[in-house]
């Protein structure tokens, strides 16, 4: 049977590096894999054990967490011949924390259950800051038994941790979160551009409206970064475009029209075409104030 004190972590980028680090700091044995090994070097120096493939992680670890780029990466990592489902130990728990497709999450769940595995989709929100500070919101979908088994590890990475429903519902909740962010990011950037054009002190403006009904996480966290000209990623533009497309696809399946989401996605695609795909989502401001590029 799988030893749930031996953990695997696949995907050690901006978010995963900090999340895996918290598990290491808690005293767990953590095995790591990333397509680019250099992105895992800091974790290896802290004591993580490098593995050369997802299959190797699956064979050695009782609980495996993944946070990779796109649904195609999730599908390959879980359902490929050398993936987690085919190679996992009996009774292992596999937890995908990537923002991905609800239908793919259900597909992975079904494949995992056929092999007697615990499967959760548990995407996160809170950005690089939340990952560093272990204050992420974790939105899980799957069986309650598996959710309870994952809770001790989730508590090392996040603060608000919710079982949202059956397999795929963690992804549905995360896509809903991304729809909210579509409005707050465009509103924040347009308001800051408006304030600057009016000749207001934008720093004072952010502090003033941040204490009222306009207060948002994006305003308090990204507003100061924009003022400093800091457009480095806490969350990549290219990944947010992916999330918005996933939300649109899910909405289409329900025959639900989301015009504000579509407009925001088009604005971000314009931004990506201007070379900002690998920058942070706060760089949307550069569409309104090009001199900030």
The set of catalytic residues is 174
Output the furthest CA–CA distance in the chain (Å, rounded): 66
CB within 8 Å of 195: residues ≥ 6 apart: 202, 205
Taking the C-alpha atoms of residue 104 and residue 92, their distance in angstroms, rounded to an integer, is 19
Cα distance between the two ends of the chain: 54
Q: CB pairs under 8 A, 24+ apart, for 144-150?
A: 145/118, 146/93, 146/118, 146/119, 146/120, 147/120, 149/4, 149/63, 149/93, 149/118, 150/63, 150/93, 150/95, 150/118, 150/120, 150/122
Taking the C-alpha atoms of residue 190 and residue 274, their distance in angstroms, rounded to an integer, is 18
């Amino acid at each position: 049977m799988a030893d749930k004190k031996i953990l695997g972590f696949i995907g050690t980028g901006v978010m995963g590096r900090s999340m895996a680090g918290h598990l290491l700091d808690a005293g767990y044995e953590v095995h790591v894999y990333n397509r680019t090994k250099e992105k895992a070097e800091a974790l290896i120096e802290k004591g993580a054990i490098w593995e050369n493939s997802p299959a190797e992680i699956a064979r050695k670890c009782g609980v495996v967490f993944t946070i990779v780029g796109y649904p195609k990466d999730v599908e390959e990592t879980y359902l490929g011949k050398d993936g987690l489902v085919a190679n996992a130990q009996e009774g292992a728990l596999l937890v995908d924390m990537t923002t991905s497709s609800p239908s793919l999450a259900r597909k992975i769940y079904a494949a995992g259950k056929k092999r007697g595995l615990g499967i959760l989709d548990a995407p996160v929100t809170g950005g690089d800051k939340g990952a560093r500070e272990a204050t992420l919101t974790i939105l899980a979908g799957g069986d309650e038994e598996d959710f309870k088994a994952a809770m001790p590890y989730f508590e090392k990475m996040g603060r608000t941790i919710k079982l949202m429903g059956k397999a795929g519902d963690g992804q549905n909740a995360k896509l809903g979160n991304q729809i909210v962010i579509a409005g707050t990011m465009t509103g924040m950037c347009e308001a800051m551009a408006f304030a600057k054009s009016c000749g207001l002190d934008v720093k004072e403006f952010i502090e003033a409206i941040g204490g009222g009904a306009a207060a948002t996480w994006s305003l308090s966290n990204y507003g100061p970064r924009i003022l400093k000209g800091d457009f480095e990623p806490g969350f990549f533009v290219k990944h947010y475009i992916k999330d918005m497309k996933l939300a649109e696809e899910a909405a289409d399946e329900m025959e639900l029209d989301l015009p504000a989401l579509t407009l925001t996605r088009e604005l971000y695609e314009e931004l990506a075409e201007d070379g900002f795909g690998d920058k942070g989502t706060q760089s949307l401001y550069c569409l309104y104030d090009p001199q900030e590029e």
